[in-house]
Amino acid sequence: MAESQNSPTYPTREPVDFVVVGSGAAGGVMAKELSTAGFSVVVLEQGPHLQAADFKHDEWDYDYNGGLMWGIKQGHPQTFRKNENEEAVEAEAVLGYAHNVGGSSVHFSGNFWRFRPIDFMEASVRGTVPGTNFADWPISYEDLEPYYTKVDWEIGVSGLQGPWDPPRSRAYPCPPMPIKGPDVLLERAGKQLGLNPYPAPVAILSQPHNGRPGCIHCGFCNGFGCEVNAKSSSMATMIPLALASGNCELRTGCTVSRVNTGEDGRVTEVVYWDAEGTEQAQRANAVVLCANGSETPRILFLSESEQHPDGLANSSGFVGQNLMFNGYTSIVGLFPEPVNAYKSVPATRVIHDYYELDPNLGFYGGGGIDGRHYSRGTPLNSALMSGMFGGPTWGAEYKKNLQQEFTHTAAFDGHTTSLPLASNNVTLDPNVQDKYGRPALRCTYMDHPDDIQTMSYFYDRTVELMEAAGAIRYAGEYPENGQEGNVHLLGTCRMGDDPSSSVIDKYHRTHDVPNLFISDGSSLITSGRGQPTMTIMAMAFRAADNIIQAARRGEI
């Protein structure tokens, strides 16, 4: 269905300048940049265009029925296995993302760390890690810095330059969020241990910016859409500007199945099912895939042809490979005084002293620690998870414990590196299909031993912090047997100079198809330390800049 606002309706049989597939974190930026530069753009988005007034504090719908997600209940099963010798089994939201205009930027937590200079050249500095595809980026922090700053100001980021932050050309547009309960504890404990906690950068407005209001600290943030548009999703920031340009048609409920190429090997059209389920094809001079680290490889695999038997843009065989999730750890502590962690945004302080671990530890890794609510901080989640300190899960004592735990707990979470491995990948499942008859997404994933050691290291650091913070009791976990799903979907169409070991060049153009571009989580080469979306959006601004320049030079 085409959007009605100031939006053109382009005929499908006439080529538009660009089709952008997916309107998420990267796709929203791409649509806005290309359309405001004067190009005709059709955005194909499989989900609906929800807006601030549509969002609700409905845990049952969002958390338990996957209301914003794209899973088995919506006719889109996924399968999971730890290695290729196992049979993949159906599992919910292994490759987790939201299907709506704005993608997962609508319901994410908004933690928005920039990568640092080291992230772009770590393989050279640290040396390669045997058995992995750990590699340097073909671009540097300096190349991306102007675009990080564009994200800060155009998307809207709140923060304060910290002791470990990379250099920035302009201050944050909004001051940091006010500190919340768990972060008071984290900050106190961190300082006691000689660490440097500082305000966490977030894609959430602490004060009005670009015509949007500041956060009202409702607390239903992680996993929920923002009812006042204070969360800086591409839905709230980029899509309105794209639609106002008069050059962008947003077609929602449109699921792309494949990209067709002509005899000259160039992309000619994008095939999709419209909101009524009818197959359509939009002709285009160029296509930008922004469907995320799981769906972009699926579209490329499904676009196989005689010329591209292993899938489009896959002469390297790297499409779908090197899937990175980011590791995590979480510990919850019970405190004698109220913490009231359920209020406000997910995190307001971060400790980055462990960003690069000492190579003498014998494994590769690094990350950050922030203070949070326990189990998203929402009432139903907390009720279902109560009992973690060993109490009963029913009856009067359960109720008493729940009352205490909801208000008196704080969580300290670690967010860590993931190494790129060929054996961690997204492929097409030969046995399971979605409601359109497409092969389901199959995820094969087992964390590298260094990633598990890194999580273990971070778990130990959060135990120290909990003890220093004065927790009466604490309990926690990290996936010591490997993760079985995540919402960070990275690396599956990686960038690189060498066409035999990467899918796109440093300008996001696929090595194999001159008028096919990719910009989303799949473009990343290494995982950063968690919170990849700031970098995904900065890369999308940079990609759009280069695509626009190439188009104006007649080079597409």
Nearer to ligand SF4, 220 or 272 (CB): 220
Q: Is 158 in the site for ligand FAD (CB under 6 A)?
A: no
Nearer to ligand FAD, 145 or 295 (CB): 295
Please pick, from the candidates 35, 40, 222, 454, the single residue that binds ligand FAD as defined by CB under 6 A. 222
**Which x/- pattern, by CB under 6 A, does the window 27-66 give for ligand FAD?**
x----------------xxxx-------------------
Sequence-distant (≥ 6) Cβ neighbours of residue 188 within 8 angstroms = 468, 469
Residue 160 Cβ vs ligand SF4, minimum distance, rounded to whole Å: 18
Q: How many CB atoms lie within 10 A of CB 325?
A: 28
Distance, CA of 431 to CA of 447 (rounded, Å): 25
Q: Is 231 in the site for ligand SF4 (CB under 6 A)?
A: yes
Residue 115 Cβ vs ligand SF4, minimum distance, rounded to whole Å: 23
Distance, CA of 208 to CA of 226 (rounded, Å): 14
> Residue 307 in contact with residue 265, Cβ under 8 Å?
yes
What angle do the packed helices 181-192 and 449-469 form, to 10 degrees? 100
Backbone angles phi, psi at 342, to 5 degrees: -70, -15
Nearer to ligand FAD, 111 or 316 (CB): 111
Distance, CA of 446 to CA of 430 (rounded, Å): 20
Q: Is 345 in the site for ligand SF4 (CB under 6 A)?
A: yes
Going by C-alpha positions, the residue among 414, 413, 412 that lies closest to residue 471 is: 412
Tokens found for residue 408: 């008196």
Please pick, from the candidates 25, 221, 226, 238, the single residue that binds ligand FAD as defined by CB under 6 A. 25
Strand partners, 289: 21, 518
**Which x/- pattern, by CB under 6 A, does the window 198-227 give for ligand SF4?**
------x----------xxxxxxx--x-x-
With helix as H, strand as E and coil as C, how does 199-242 read?
ECCECECCCCECCECCCCCCCCCCCCCCCCCCECCHHHHCHHHH
Please pick, from the candidates 37, 189, 230, 270, the single residue that binds ligand SF4 as defined by CB under 6 A. 230
Nearer to ligand SF4, 52 or 468 (CB): 52
Footprint of ligand FAD on 272-311 (CB under 6 A)? 290-293, 295, 299
Distance, CA of 86 to CA of 282 (rounded, Å): 39
Say if residue 520 is exposed, middle or buried (CB neighbours under 10 Å; 0-12, 13-18, 19+): buried
Q: Of these partners, ligand FAD, ligand SF4, none, which one is at the site of residue 185 (CB under 5 to 8 Å by kind)? A: none
**Which x/- pattern, by CB under 6 A, does the window 357-396 give for ligand FAD?**
----------------------------------------
Distance, CA of 518 to CA of 512 (rounded, Å): 12
Footprint of ligand SF4 on 315-344 (CB under 6 A)? 344
Footprint of ligand FAD on 88-147 (CB under 6 A)? 96-99, 103-105, 107-111
How big is the chain by its Cα radius of gyration, in Å?
Answer: 22
Binding region for ligand FAD (CB under 6 A)? 21-27, 44-47, 96-99, 103-105, 107-111, 222-223, 255-256, 290-293, 295, 299, 487-488, 520-521, 531-533, 536
Residues at the site binding ligand SF4, with contacts judged by CB under 6 A? 204, 215-221, 224, 226, 228, 230-231, 344-345
